[in-house]
Amino acid sequence: MPPTHTDEGLRAAAVIRERHPRTAVLLLSSYLEARYAEALLKDHPAGSGYLLKDRVYDAAVVGDALRRVSTGECVIDPEIISQLLRRGRDRNPLDALTERERQILSLMAQGYSNDSICNQLVISRRTVESHVSSVFAKLGIVESPESSRRVLAVLAYLQG
Partner 1 sequence: MKARGWAASLAFPALPALTAAAVLALAVPMVRLAASYPDAAPGGGASWQVALQAAAAACAVAAGAALAAHRTTALCGTLLMLAGPAVVIAAVPVAQARPALLFTIVLAGAALAPALLGSAALTCPVGPLRSWDRLAVVVSLVVAGLVCGLLPATLFDPQASGCFTCAANLAEVHAAADLRASLIRWGLVLTIGTGTGVAVLAMGRWLRAPRIVRLVNAPVAVGGAAVALLSAAAAGHGLAQPVPVIDAQSRAIWLAQCAIVVLMAGGVAATALRTRRLASQITAQVLAATPDAETLRHSLAESIDDPGLTLVFPRDDGTVIDAAGQPVGAAGQATGADGAGLAVATVRRASRTVAEVRYRAELAGAGQLLGIAVRSAGLALEHVAAQARLRAELADLAASRRRIIEDADAERRSLERDLHDGAQQRLIGLQLFMQLAADDAAEEQAETYGAARRIVSTALADLRDLAHGIHPAALTDDGLMIGLRTLANRSPAPLSVGGTGPVARSAVAEAAAYRLVAYTAHTAGRLAGGPVIRATVDGDEAVLRIRIEADGIGGEQAAQIMARASDRIAAASGSATVETTPAGMGTARTTITAEFPCASLLPRTWHCCGRAWPGCSPMLDSMSSAAPATRTNCSSW
- Kindly state the smallest distance separating residue 92's Cβ from partner 1, in Å: 8
84 binds partner 1 (CB under 8 A): yes
Among 12, 16, 56, 96, binds partner 1 (CB under 8 A): 56
Nearer to partner 1, 58 or 146 (CB): 58
Question: Please, is 74 exposed, middle or buried when counting C-beta atoms within 10 Å of its C-beta (0-12, 13-18, 19+)?
Answer: buried
Question: Please, is 92 exposed, middle or buried when counting C-beta atoms within 10 Å of its C-beta (0-12, 13-18, 19+)?
Answer: exposed
Please report the DSSP string for 20-65 in residue order: STT--EEEEES---HHHHHHHHSS--TTEEEEEGGGGG-HHHHHHH
By rule CB under 8 A, what count of residues binds partner 1? 27
89 binds partner 1 (CB under 8 A): yes
- Kindly state the smallest distance separating residue 93's Cβ from partner 1, in Å: 11
Residues that bind partner 1 (CB under 8 A): 3-7, 30-35, 53-54, 56-59, 83-84, 86-90, 92, 159-160
